[in-house]
Chains A and B, each alone.
Chain A
């Protein structure tokens, strides 16, 4: 058996790799469960099937998918251009914080304009937070990975300061929480007692917009060119800095919207634990979804499920909720490992080392 480089990358493996990664994650998951003394198949069932086997469970899946998909939609464009915005988490938190502050300000106002103002403030806040990174990158050449990460920590401290200080509810027994938002500032739910809000449609709409931009517009073309080759982008004669601004502002706005969808949706107030890592999970979604809108949609369903699975595993199996993070990490590792098969293939050769006549074939290992 031998491993050799493929002459051209395999498009089939590109789409097969996430499925392979999922399979390997499930097998590893089963091994982890049995190592913890739980029945592996029943545990996998409890993690991946049980949470979505009721209508309520399915609706909760979409509650999780909403912020994830919003963040991932913005990051899809960024990552396509190899602009590494790792700051969706901070843009999410800052969007939620500002939308929350505006919601509290408008608590006594009625009128159709209230909710649009709240949404716009959250989106603009997310854009502003990403805009800082864009400024630091384009004006000062400070690498976006490090600046966006630092901005994540700063945003979380700002949120903590706000709910411990100026935005703390006067009637909250000194808990670090804001007052509950008034109903007119909340996103309408879709139906009945379920918690899914109209933000899921905004997410789907924006995903369609991203698909159109990528495939039908000059901006999308520039994004793809820049991702493949920054030098070529310069030769093609378009302004890389402008594109960086557009992409970061867009993804910041989407993450800000995700913050609104959470804080003006199921949560309904500002609390200390708004940052559940959606911004980081969205990174996995974009990689799993192959930076393609349809793939991102499917991957957001899967990663949303890992949150529900973790909660269910805690309730029914008595496992810590943090098993969600373990599954998410495994998934990304297996994906990156399987991606090796896009550019390489395993060739089965007869036992006696028969070598191909083409000696220029790059071999990585041989046995």
Chain B
């Protein structure tokens, strides 16, 4: 196997893993505060369509990215109001967000199907990009990929080294205790859910502005659900989310790899791989003793402060 092929596989893995990483990091943060938002798929789609419309109508990718980010955050606010303030079932509300987001994005994007834009370009970093093997994968990507790396590092820092991270974790582990210590549980949960929405919107923006610069209905293709599985797989740990995203990305591009080696397998059968990989990863994870105990203790439980 030549160097070239490995370089390209690594490059494609990082690229494909970027939307998964963004969405899964956002989902992880809201889950760490105790909120399970199954609406990831809907938020990605709304982010993707708004990012594309923003970029297409203003001819500015920056505005596109900002629209994706903002629309994801705003859209997740619906979930926050119903699941946090109106203490509805998080499972049902998250499903509703996915169903609504799928419909809404198709509705908003109907006039934009088939249009194309110039997507984000690769911006090789001088010198670093010519490192053999990994240079191309890590230092010859587009700005959103670098942005995802920076976000990952910031989240890792915040969650493990700062007071804010501690508060988020306290709210997720024991909301009643956090409340009695004077932290505003509801406010924290609103913030983490909207942060998750912004990250999912950004993931969507990556899909429609960089990965495949166009809008197609349902273009997220289950990435929101895979990201949710990824958080379980990573047992709610930031660094494992990164590794997981790359592993899943590799499973999704395996068909390119196999085709590259001349295997002739139906693309539809190969398209099943990421979903199969998700199931296998879940099963393997649950075999390890105590995975269930790793989940934030109040995950999925509504909470409202008692006077």
A contacts, CB < 8 Å to B: 84, 86, 136, 140-143, 145-147, 149-151, 153-154, 157-158, 160-161, 164-165, 280, 283-284, 287, 320, 322-330, 332-333, 336-337, 339-340, 343, 359, 362-364
| 9 interchain pairs, CB-CB under 8 A | A140-B286, A141-B292, A160-B268, A324-B103, A325-B100, A326-B103, A336-B96, A340-B88, A359-B307
Q: Which of B103, B279, B282 contacts A329 (CB 8 A)?
A: B103
Q: How many cross-chain pairs have Cβ atoms below 8 Å apart between A and B?
A: 135
B81: chain A residues within 8 A (beta carbon): 337
Question: Smallest Cβ distance from B104 to chain A, in angstroms?
Answer: 6
**In the bound complex, how far is the Cα of B223 from the Cα of A153, in angstroms?**
11
Closest 8 CB pairs of A and B: A325-B103, A329-B100, A322-B106, A161-B268, A320-B110, A340-B86, A332-B96, A150-B275
The distance from the CB of A77 to the nearest CB of chain B, in whole angstroms, is: 17
Q: A333, B100: Cβ atoms under 8 Å?
A: yes
Q: What 0/1 readout, one digit per residue, does chain B (213-228) give for beta carbons within 8 Å of chain A?
A: 0000100011001001
Q: Which residue of A lies closest to B266 (CB)?
A: A161
> Cβ of A146 and Cβ of B228 under 8 Å apart?
yes
- B157 located at the interface, meaning its Cβ lies under 8 Å from any Cβ of chain A in the complex: no
From the candidates A157, A325, A359, A364, name the one contacting B99 in the complex (CB within 8 A). Answer: A325
Contact of A325 with B86 in the complex, beta carbons under 8 Å? no
**Known A-B contacts A320-B110, A363-B307; A84 and B91 likewise in contact (beta carbons under 8 Å):** yes
Q: Indicate whether B1 reaches chain A with its CB closer than 8 angstroms.
A: no
Interface of A, helix, strand, loop or mixed by DSSP: helix
Contacts of B272 in A (CB 8 A): 153-154, 157-158
A336 adjacent to B93 (CB under 8 Å): yes
Inside 8 A of B100's CB, which chain A residues have their CB? 325-326, 328-330, 332-333
In the assembled complex, B21 has its CB within 8 A of some CB on chain A: no
List the interface of chain B (C-beta within 8 A of A): 38, 78, 81-82, 85-89, 91-93, 95-96, 99-104, 106-107, 110, 217, 221-222, 225, 228-229, 232, 266, 268-269, 271-272, 275-276, 278-279, 282-283, 286-287, 292, 304, 306-307
* Interface pair B95/A86, CB less than 8 Å apart: yes
How far apart sit A364 and B89, CA to CA, in the bound complex (Å)?
A: 17
Give Cα A364–Cα B269 distance, bound, in whole angstroms: 51
Determine if B104 and A329 form an interchain contact, defined as CB atoms under 8 angstroms apart. Answer: yes
Q: Is the CB of A141 within 8 A of B99?
A: no
Query: Which residue of chain B lies nearest to A164 when distances are taken between CB atoms in the complex?
Result: B268
Q: Kindly provide the distance from the CB of B301 to the nearest chain A CB, expressed in whole angstroms.
A: 14
Determine whether the beta carbon of A157 is less than 8 Å from that of B103.
no
Determine whether the beta carbon of B89 is less than 8 Å from that of A336: yes
Determine the distance from Cα of A339 to Cα of B92 in the docked complex, in whole angstroms.
Answer: 12
A325-B107, A332-B95 given; name 11 further pairs at CB < 8 Å.
Answer: A140-B287, A146-B282, A157-B269, A283-B95, A320-B110, A322-B110, A322-B217, A325-B104, A329-B104, A332-B99, A336-B82
A147 contacts B279, CB within 8 Å?
yes
Residues on the B chain within 8 Å of A161, using CB: 266, 268-269
Pick from B86, B95, B101, B110: contact of A337, CB under 8 Å: B86
Neighbouring B residues of A136 by C-beta, 8 Å:
279, 282-283
B221: chain A residues at CB < 8 Å are: 153
Closest CB in chain B relative to A75 CB, distance in Å: 12
CB distance from B49 to the nearest CB of A (A): 11
Q: Which residue of B lies closest to A343 (CB)?
A: B87
